Amino acid sequence: MRNESPVYYDEKAKIWDVFLYEDIVKILKNPKIFSSERKNKNIPTSNSIIAMDPPRHNKIRALVNKAFTPRTIQMWKPRIEWHIQKLLEKVQDENQFDIVKTIAYPLPLTIIATIIGVPNSDMDKFREWTMSIVSGPADNSKETIKENTKSVYKGFKNLNDYFAEIIEKKRNEPQDDIISVLINAEEDGFKLSNEEIIGFSILLLIAGHETTTNLITNSVYCFLENEPLLNQIKQDPDLLPKAIEEVLRYRSPVHAMPRIVKENTELRGQKLKAGDEIVLWIGSANRDENQFDCAEEFNLQRTSNSHLAFGTGIHFCLGAPLSRLETNLVLLELIKRFPNMKLSTKHTIEPLQSPLMYGLKKLEVT
Ligand code: HEM
Any idea what DSSP says for residue 84? Answer: H
Q: Which residue has the higher pLDDT, 225 or 75?
A: 225
Mean pLDDT in the chain? 90
Q: Which has the higher per-residue pLDDT, 54 or 63?
A: 54
Share of the chain above pLDDT 70, in %: 97
Interval 255-275 mean pLDDT: 96
**Angle at CA of residue 226, ends 221 and 231, nearest 5°:** 110
Helix H, strand E, coil C: the string for 140-187 is: CCHHHHHHHHHHHHHHHHHHHHHHHHHHHHHHHCCCCCHHHHHHHCEE
Q: Which helix (H) or strand (E) holds 97?
A: strand 97-98
Cβ–ligand 1 distance for 251 under 6 Å, the answer: no
Distance 93 CA to ligand 1 centre (A): 35
Tell how far the Cα of 50 is from the centroid of ligand 1, in angstroms: 8
| Nearest partner of 133 among 40, 214, 210, judged by Cα | 210
Q: Which atom of ligand 1 is nearest to the CA of 314?
A: 38
How does pLDDT run across 283-316, given as a tens digit for each residue? 999 999 999 999 999 999 998 899 999 999 999 9
Task: Determine what percent of the chain falls in helix, strand and coil, rounding each to the nearest 5.
Answer: 55, 10, 35
Beta carbons within 10 angstroms of residue 231's beta carbon: 11
Q: Whose CA is nearest to atom 33 of ligand 1?
A: 318
Total H helices, total E strands in the chain: 15, 11
Ligand 1 centroid to Cα of residue 209, in Å, is 10
Burial of 130 (0-12, 13-18, 19+ CB in 10 A): buried
Q: Is 206 in the pocket of ligand 1 (CB under 6 A)?
A: no
The pLDDT tens digits of the residues spanning 5-45 come to: 899 999 998 999 999 999 999 999 999 999 999 877 766 67
Question: Is 309 near ligand 1, meaning CB less than 6 Å away?
Answer: yes
Closest C-alpha to ligand 1, atom 31: 317
State the distance from the centre of ligand 1 to the C-alpha of 26, rounded, in angstroms: 19
Rounded distance, CA 108 to CA 234, Å?
A: 24
* Ligand 1 atom closest to residue 209's alpha carbon, by position in its atom list: 26
Distance 315 CA to ligand 1 centre (A): 8
Which pLDDT score, from 0 to 100, does residue 31 have?
97
Residue of 308, 312, 318 best suited for mutating to test ligand 1, as the one with most atoms within 8 Å of CB: 318
Atom in ligand 1 nearest the alpha carbon of residue 57: 38
For the segment 250-259, what is each residue's pLDDT rounded down to a tens digit? 999 999 999 9
Q: How far is the CA of 16 from the centre of ligand 1 (A)?
A: 22
- Is ligand 1 within 6 A of the CB of residue 217? no
Q: Residue 134's pLDDT is what? A: 65
Q: Which residues pair with 279 in a beta bridge?
A: 17, 258
Q: Is 225 helix (H, G, I), strand (E, B) or coil?
A: coil
Distance CA 8, CA 17 (A): 5
Question: What is the per-residue pLDDT across 112-143, written as a single tens digit (0 to 9) for each?
Answer: 888 888 877 887 787 788 777 766 666 777 88
Ligand 1 midpoint to CA 297 (Å): 25
Identify residue 288 by its one-letter amino acid code.
D
DSSP string, 125-138: HHHHHHHHHHPPPS
- The predicted structure's pLDDT at residue 51: 92
C-alpha–C-alpha distance, residues 196 and 183, integer Å: 10
The interface pTM score, or ipTM, of the predicted complex is: 0.99
